[in-house]
């Protein structure tokens, strides 16, 4: 849970703007949520925080209440965007970065020299490369490190992260080595004894930083954690919905990047609106198949973190994955594109990870017919086919019904997941792919 440390002055609480005061929300400010410390001062803790949760000995604001300090792991575009979200709520933010020169430039000029360099970083934000100092009195973490680098990065800082500090993850993808989502990677590196939440949805970093209207979803297995992060982040320009379906949210955020590569290839080949629309729609079908097989919900895929994020990434001009696909469709080499971008296109590694995950977890024959878009993108990225050959192959697939049988959340939740992901291996299920009910 987030640490809402509020000193009481007489009978009146000092309530920062980021703490909800609605009676039905977690983090309610009231006398019954307060306890007295040995010093005689009364400290308010957010609902559900265990008594042993560490107290805040850091700086206090002008009103006498301690400052809630957020640490953003990663100083890329989305880390900067989250600094803007939190800065608008008056939350003190530290950007923990790798590049010392970038950190110094932010602190002096209030701008990142490479990412979103035309937008001023909000005043409550500071940047550092000193991991020990940044994490020492952190109230919460926001993880914005790319998925493929997350396991090693988290292992490096794990001993420095204070016990019980909650983590909000914004990274989207599947680790190519372990085939795990971030909901497995984070606890494996930082421990099970803390709260985790995951943010996804159509959310381009530039538009967030500019204060344009954005809607996202925060998912957590503990609804109180989701509510706390919702109240911490939400503003007039940043609307936050909540969910308990962590797996569905993460699958949507991972698969949509692969679909964006395919959509971009369609555009690069000038195949027209009909082709790209059909491809994205059928890609969502593959996304839903994977989510249900892993224990997610169909309704999550139909929401902001599935369809919503897919639309934004496949059709939005700011999408790195879509733009990578466009350049592939126009005949550029993948290595040259990635070297020129300067930022990560998660869909590339995710395509290979999904291909391996599906092959290890499904026993049915001709998986390329059940996941033709995901498998096709992986083949193109490997160089086995050109983009034109791959997309033409989709048009030559056997004719069949669009859907066999729709699946409701109730039906899906009565079954155990068909894809079981551990920290280092994939367990095959004894069940046949037909048990998903909408197999072709």
Candidates 256, 359, 360, 370; catalytic one:
256
Rounded to an integer, what distance in angstroms lies between the CA atom of residue 234 and that of residue 18? 8
Strand partners of residue 167: 141, 196
Rounded to an integer, what distance in angstroms lies between the CA atom of residue 27 and that of residue 13? 13
**CA dihedral defined by 38, 41, 44, 45, rounded to 10 degrees?**
-30
- Strand pairing of 420-421 and 426-427? antiparallel
256 catalytic? Reply is yes
Rounded to an integer, what distance in angstroms lies between the CA atom of residue 409 and that of residue 413? 6
User: Considering only CA atoms, which of 226, 217, 107 is closest in space to residue 172?
Assistant: 217
Question: For the chain, how long is the longest CA-to-CA vector?
Answer: 75
The answer to whether 189 touches 155, Cβ cutoff 8 Å, is yes
Rounded to an integer, what distance in angstroms lies between the CA atom of residue 232 and that of residue 80? 17
- Strand pairing of 69-73 and 92-96? parallel
User: Residue 309: what are its φ and ψ, rounded to 5°?
Assistant: -65, -35
Catalytic amino acids? 256
């Amino acid at each position: 849970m987030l640490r809402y440390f509020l000193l009481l002055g007489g009978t009146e609480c000092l309530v920062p703007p980021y703490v909800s005061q609605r009676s039905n929300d977690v983090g309610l400010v009231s006398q019954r949520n307060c306890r007295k410390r040995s010093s005689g001062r009364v400290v308010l803790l957010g609902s559900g925080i265990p008594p042993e949760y560490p107290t805040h000995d850091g700086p206090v604001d002008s009103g006498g209440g301690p400052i809630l300090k957020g640490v953003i792991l990663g100083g890329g575009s989305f880390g900067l965007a989250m600094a803007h979200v939190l800065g608008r709520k008056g939350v003190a933010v530290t950007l923990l970065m790798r590049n010392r020169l970038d950190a110094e430039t932010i602190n002096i000029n209030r701008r990142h020299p490479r990412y979103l360099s035309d937008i001023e970083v909000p005043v409550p934000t500071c940047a550092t490369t000193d991991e020990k100092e940044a994490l020492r009195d952190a109230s919460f973490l926001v993880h914005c490190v790319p998925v493929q680098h997350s396991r090693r990065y988290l292992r490096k800082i794990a001993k420095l992260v204070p016990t019980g500090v909650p983590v909000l993850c914004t990274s989207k993808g599947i680790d190519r080595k372990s085939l795990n989502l971030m909901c497995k990677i984070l606890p494996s590196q930082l421990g099970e004894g803390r709260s985790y939440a995951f943010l996804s949805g159509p959310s381009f970093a530039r538009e967030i930083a500019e204060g344009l209207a954005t809607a996202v979803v925060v998912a957590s297995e503990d609804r109180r954690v989701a509510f706390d992060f919702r109240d911490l982040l939400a503003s007039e320009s940043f609307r936050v919905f909540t969910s308990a379906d962590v797996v569905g949210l993460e699958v949507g955020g991972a698969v949509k990047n692969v679909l964006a590569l395919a959509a971009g290839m369609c555009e690069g080949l000038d195949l027209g609106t009909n082709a790209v629309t059909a491809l994205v729609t059928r890609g969502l079908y593959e996304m839903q198949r994977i989510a249900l097989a892993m224990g997610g919900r169909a309704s999550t895929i139909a929401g902001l973190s599935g369809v919503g994020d897919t639309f934004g990434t496949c059709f939005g001009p700011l999408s790195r994955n879509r733009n990578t696909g466009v350049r592939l469709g126009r005949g550029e080499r993948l290595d040259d594109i990635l070297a020129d971008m300067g930022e990560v296109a998660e869909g590339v590694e995710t395509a290979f990870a999904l291909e391996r995950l599906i092959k290890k977890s499904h026993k049915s024959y001709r998986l390329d017919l059940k996941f033709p878009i995901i498998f096709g993108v992986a083949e193109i990225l490997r160089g086995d086919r050109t983009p034109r050959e791959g997309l033409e192959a989709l048009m030559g697939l056997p004719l069949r019904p669009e859907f066999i049988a729709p699946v409701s959340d109730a039906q899906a939740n009565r079954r155990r997941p068909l894809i079981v992901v551990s920290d280092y291996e994939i367990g095959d299920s004894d069940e046949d792919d037909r048990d998903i009910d909408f197999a072709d």
